[in-house]
Every structure is written in C-alpha cells, then in structure tokens.
Amino acid sequence: MAKSLVVVESPTKAKTINKYLGRDYKVVASMGHVRDLPKSKLGVEVENGFEAVYETIPSRKKVLKEMRDAAKDVKDVYVATDPDREGEAIGQDIADELAGKHRRIHRLMFNEITKKAILEAIKHPGAIDQRMVAAQRARRVLDRLVGYKISPLLWDKVRRGLSAGRVQSVALKVVCDREAEIERFVPEEYWNLFARLAGPQPPEFEARLLKKEGETVKVGNEAEAQAILADLQDASLVVSSVAIRERRKHAAPPFITSKLQQTARFPVKKTMMLAQQLYEGIELPGEGLVGLITYMRTDSTRVSEQALDEVRGYIGRSFGPEYVPDKPNFYRAKADAQDAHEAIRPTSMQYDPEAVRRYLTGDQYSLYRLIWNRFVASQMPEAVFDDTTVDITATPRVAATASAVAYTFRVKGSVPKFAGWQAAYGGILTEPPEQPAAADSQDEASSGALPPLAEGTALDLKQLRPEQKFTQPPPRFTEATLVKELEENGIGRPSTYAQIITVLQAREYVRKIEGRFKPTLLGRMLVTDLLSPSFDDILDVDYTKRLEDQLDDIEQGKADYEGTLGSFYEKFKTDLARAEREMVNLKEGVKTEDICEKCGSVMLKKVGRFGPFLACSAYPDCTNTRELEKTDAAAEDVDEACENCGRPMVIKRGRFGQFLACSGYPECKTTRKLIATKQGLAAAKPDQILEERCPRCHANLIVKQGRFGEFTACSRYPECKYVKLKSTGVACPKDAGEIVERRSRRGKVFYGCSNYPDCDFTLWQKPIAEKCPECGAPYLVEKITRRHGRQLVCNNEGCKHVRSEELTPV
C-alpha cells in the first residue's frame, strides 16, 4: 500500500511521475481546477473584504472523491500542481480538501518532469506560497467583477451572449485601434531608381540612387523619375568610397512563453497544447514517458548551471571547440519578469530531435526542434559578417564639367565570416534585406557578395530601372504580432493569451482574414459605442498594465489582496452606475441618417442574433431591415441575379455566417452560399440539375454547394435525403458493400461502407483497389506524410508491406 499521495493536474503527468517514484507513492490527477466561483451568481462578497465564495466544480466531484479515498491511509500528501500562480491556487484547493489532523501537506516544485528533478523535489518539499495564491485569487475576482457586472448590462442594452472581460476588452481595443489607423492611412507615392552595374570582375550588382548633389534625394512621381533617368543615360560611374566593417550578431535568448508563441508556426492555442505534451511526457522505447522540455509557462531566460554545462559539452562535441564561448552566455530578463522558472529548453541533450523524431507527431517534432535549436544557439558565439558599403558617383557626360550634377548610388554587401550560433540551424543563415523601419523609408539595395571594388574603379552601366512604390499602412495583427503587442504593453500574461484570442473569435468580435484579425462591426461598436464612454480605464492599456503590476506586487508581498481590489472597485462602481444611466440602448435602436427605401421612415441601428443591422423605425407596419456591416470587398462586388426570378441577390447573415439571398424575399426564397477564395468571398455556383436519376425515388439528382464543397444529392430534398457518395472502387470486407468517401460532422474525410448503418466498417486512410503482394489482402491504404510523401501500405496488422508512390497532381 502506498504511504504517500502525490497530486498533479493531468493524467499524462501523473503517469510520467508515477514511473519515477515507485510503489511507496500513489500519483493521482486533479484534472485542473477542482473549485471555482459559482456560475449562477457573482460569488464575491464585495462588502466583506471581497471574500470569494468558491464551490466544487460539478464535473470534479468524482475526482475529489477519488482523491479523498486515495488519501485515507496516507500521512503525507504532496501537491505537485504546475509551478505558477494558477497551479498554486489549485494546490491550495486540493490542500483544503485533503487536510486532516494526522496528515501533512507538502508542496513539490519542479521545472521539468525528469527522474532527477522529481526525486530532488521529493527530498526538499516546501509549503504552498500564500502570496501566489492571493495574487491568483485577486486576478480571478477582478475578472469576475468586470465580467459579471458589465456583461449583464450589455445583455440588457444590446443582446444576450455578449461579454466584456477585463483583459479581453483592452485586447479588442488594440485590434480596433489598429483597424482605425489603417482606415486613416493615406498612401504616398515614391520611386526607387536602381542602376545595374558591372565592375572589372563579376558578378554584376544593383545600386540604389541615394543622393543628388550631396543631398538625400526623394523621387515623388514618375515625371521626376524619368527626368533623372534621362539625365543618367550616358553617365560615367566611378566608385567613390568603399567601407568595410566587421559586424557581430548575437544569438537570441532561449524561449520564454510569449516568444515561443510568436515564433512557432502554429496558432497560439495549438502551440501551448503541443508544448504541454512535450513537457508532460512522450513515450520512448525502453524509457516509458519522458518529459522532453521544461515548463512552458515562463517569462525568464534563466538557465540552470547543470543545463549550461550539458549544452556546452554538446556544442563542443557537435560543432567543435571554436563554437564554445569562454563563458556561458547570460541574457537580461525583462524588468517585470517573475523569474520563478527557467527558460523553455530541452530537459536533456541526449534527446536530439532527430533521435526522437519517430516517436513524435509532425507538429510535436517541429516545435521540439524549434526549442532545441534556439536553446543550443543561445549558448554559441556570435555570428560574424564582413559588411561592405560602396558609394558610386554618377556624373552625366553631357553636362559641362563646371556645372555637372553628381548623383550618388549606394549598395551594401554582406559576407559571412564565421557561422557562430547560426551553425545550430544547419549553417549560416541568409540575411534578407532589412525592411523599411517607417512608412516613408526608402528601400535599400542589398547584395550578398560584391565583386572586388576599390575607390576610383570605373563601372559599366548595364541598366537603369525605376520602381514605383507606395507607403504601406500598418498591417493587421496576426496571432503572433497580437501576442507581441499584448506582451510589450503588459496586457495579461503569456498563459492567458491563447484564451483571450479564442474568446475574441468565439464572440465574433474579430474575424481572421488571410490569417490576420479584423474587428467586426459588433466588436467595434462594443469598444466605441458601449464601453469607451463609461469604462475608459478598463480599455486603457496603461491602466491594465498597472493592474498587472499590482497583482505582481501581491505575489511579492508589496501589496495586499483587499487593498488592491478596493482601490479598483471604488472607481469601477461609479463607472458602472453611469453606464447604467447613459449607455445607448441598441435593443430599442439608435436613430441613424439612413432612410427606409420602402416607407421613408428613419432607420434604427440595432444588434440582433447575427450582429448589427438596420431596421425600420415604423416596425411593425414596415418590416424592412438591411445589413449594416460591410463585408469583404470581394463579397460586396458580387453582381448576381436570382436564377429563379431575376431580381438582385443581396448579402445576408445567418446562423452559419454570410450568404446570398434573393432581394425578393419572402416572395422568392432563393439562397446561395458564399465561399472563400484567394481573392476573398465569392458566390458559389448555382445548383445544377443532372439528367442522372435518384436510385431511391427516381427524381433528378442535383449538384449543390455544401459546407464542405460540392456534393450530389436528390432534388426532392428534404422528402428524399439521398446523397451520392464518391466510390473508391473497393468492396467492404465485412458485407461486400462498396467503400465510399464520407465526412464527419466536423468535415474530416473518412471512408465507410455504403450500407451504413447496417454495416459500421470505417477507415481513416483512403483504400486503394490493389491486392497486397505479400499477404494477399484485398486492398492497400494510402498514407501521405510530410517526411515520406505518398505511400501505399497494407492495412493488415501482421503485414509490413510499404511502397512509395509519386503524389498525383491535383
């Protein structure tokens, strides 16, 4: 029987740790939080020192019972929840539930799930940090006060389902402010002039016009560009200066959470999910579950001495002694870094990404390799380059010598001298030309290696090339750049970024267009019309950052729970009362300057189930409504007529998003799907009636556009629900039916018997009508991976037949 109980958060983590501790310890998982504020009420006694009333989460009652049963006969309980504020608060809840007269509660802290780290933590247990718990509780109460006080106000004034979280709202404002900046931006034209030149030795190179008569030249239009080109057609070009300097480029520090989220090619939520998997443990042959990386929620670049020694030894063995600096590289932490944990790094240098690749999914491998390379590179010397800057004087030959106009062209070249840390990424990285730092910056002419050039060298002009440019507005945020913006402004914490982004999209406050966030009209109205007039501080970036700093102060013992919440609530209470009186009521509608085209009455701006819209103020006598939100340009430009009555099709919004509907509704109920293309939204093709007949009712089949693309179905739907499925030409091994292509509820393709539901045979890989040459199985299956391309493999467990095939072009 186990003498001690260890409680962790996840089953995977429990399984990994149990392997290290042996039979004297029983390891169980809490499945995350076991208690929380109630959903049905505020759960905070404001007048009683902001005491939070926690209750057991219904789905955790069974887990808690199992934990209590496991703790009955043990004297020591070790709380091994995640080493952060959230984990500390979960640990306190578990301690409260399992505490007993003869039972001791200990806190285990470790940064990585390895045998050495776990056994060391067991030897030196600590106590739950009450200041960390208080900081987490304060954050939870702050979020609850904002969410549960403002959201009902929005339900009353706008519609149910809206929410206004403390950090979520300021993040939304950041996105809305960027969109407003883009709309205000006025592009300015400018021209770059390039000269393609050749020296005494190859290669040829391009230089950009920089100066005219010693002054920086700005070419604003085509006429100015053509005038300079005409002046330079017969110019003599001579190298006027060559400057060579050595440049050293330092490696980036090992990853912290926010930098990993910004650098990984995955959405933030997926990045954190993959990192959690790598942290909790991957099954390796002969070793069982092994944690491959350290804890993934950290804002510290600190690395333990043991890890530094190990990585320096690895670098010396793998790259040579010249790649090991005399001293380890240390990196300065952010001013507000909590520094509780190390940076994100591999737990051991014995688990090279290539050595464990076969045991990882493609996405796990990609993230693990990214973390590995960054960590190794961070302890290698600087990369060294020889940078060359060449100025070339161009003098028009036709000009009089005394009054000749001198033009200066410039080109920069960079030659790698020592790979340094870049060797960790497989060699010296090619450095792209630097992008303009500001909207009106001119583009540099940049080259890799330049030919040998010296002052006074005459050059041949091969070509003059003008290039028209326009200044660009700031781009919309991607997930990575939004995380960067939130981090730099101290909004939230890296552990909350994934949830913030998820909520903004789930509430339809922002949409992703080509991977970038655009606020919806509902999102902008929430910020400008509803929250800004009354809750300016809630939306203020600096105010939100100060609140985060105050939570840090609670953790460090510099501030107290009640005082922090009290100072916040004093102003918030006043703002809330004002909002109840003054916030616009979009349920009743706000008058606009638009006039109803049917009856001439004023149109009202309202918010309905599917977003903002205009409705006639003469309702119910006039039921005219109009879409208010402008859609993407491609959708606005759809010039479609109804195929049934010839009237124009208009864009509407429904349960599943935007669609085209006949403007003659309700007399004509024709609708058409809008589909995403590279250019934006476009109208789907109209339904196409086929001569082929339905095998069930003999009506014509029809090609329709569905949620997941085109499909063929009976034209008598919904009376007849026949759908023609794509055949694979392979017979079902269970009942000799036909294996056909199907889709799951989420749109994922799989293959199943055409006699479903009588036959439940399914496959996830596409079956190929070809017998296995080794075991005689009636079919092979297609397997496509990034590493091996297309392979045909046998589906029988005992057969290992594999054949590589070329991918068929689509």
- What is the CA 79 to chain-centroid distance, rounded? 32
Q: Tell me how far apart the terminal alpha carbons of the chain are, to the nearest angstrom.
A: 61
Q: Which of 77, 114, 107, 79 is nearest to 8 (CA)?
A: 79
Q: What angle do CA 534, 536, 540 make, to 5 degrees?
A: 160
Using the structure block, give the residue that is written with the tokens 């320096």. Answer: 312
Is 159 in contact with 587 (CB distance < 8 Å)? yes
3-state secondary structure of 23: coil
List Cβ neighbours of 801 (8 Å cut-off, separation of 6 or more). 772, 773, 774, 775, 780, 793, 794
CA distance 160 to 522: 13
List Cβ neighbours of 712 (8 Å cut-off, separation of 6 or more). 690, 701, 702, 703, 704, 723, 724
CA distance 308 to 326: 12
Neighbours of 297 (CB within 10 A): 22
List Cβ neighbours of 762 (8 Å cut-off, separation of 6 or more). 750, 751, 752, 753
Neighbours of 736 (CB within 10 A): 10
Burial 787-805 (b: 16+ CB within 10 A, else e): eeeeebbbbeeeeeeeeee
3-state secondary structure of 620: coil
DSSP 530: I
3-state secondary structure of 596: coil
Is 54 in contact with 35 (CB distance < 8 Å)? yes
Instruction: Give, in order, the Cα–Cα distances in Å from 344 to each of 293, 296, 341, 368, 755.
Output: 7, 6, 9, 10, 51
3-state secondary structure of 147: helix
Q: What angle do CA 792, 798, 801 make, to 5 degrees?
A: 25
Q: Which of 619, 614, 581 is nearest to 599 (CA)?
A: 619
CA distance 798 to 783: 17
Q: What angle do CA 273, 276, 80 make, to 5 degrees?
A: 140
Q: Tokens for 128?
A: 């739950």
Burial class (CB in 10 A: 0-12, 13-18, 19+), 523: buried
Q: Which of 25, 78, 190, 295 does the annotation list as catalytic?
A: 295
Q: Which residues pair with 738 in a beta bridge?
A: 731
Q: Is 331 a catalytic residue?
A: no
Burial class (CB in 10 A: 0-12, 13-18, 19+), 756: middle
Is 506 in contact with 512 (CB distance < 8 Å)? no
Using the Cα atoms of residue 710, residue 716, residue 719 and residue 725 in order, give the sign of their dihedral: negative
Q: Which of 257, 263, 295, 304 is nearest to 276 (CA)?
A: 295
Neighbours of 190 (CB within 10 A): 20
Q: Tokens for 658?
A: 């935007």
Neighbours of 573 (CB within 10 A): 12
Using the structure block, give the residue that is written with the tokens 């922090």. Answer: 564
CB half-sphere exposure, 133, CA atoms < 13 A? 16
Active site members: 295
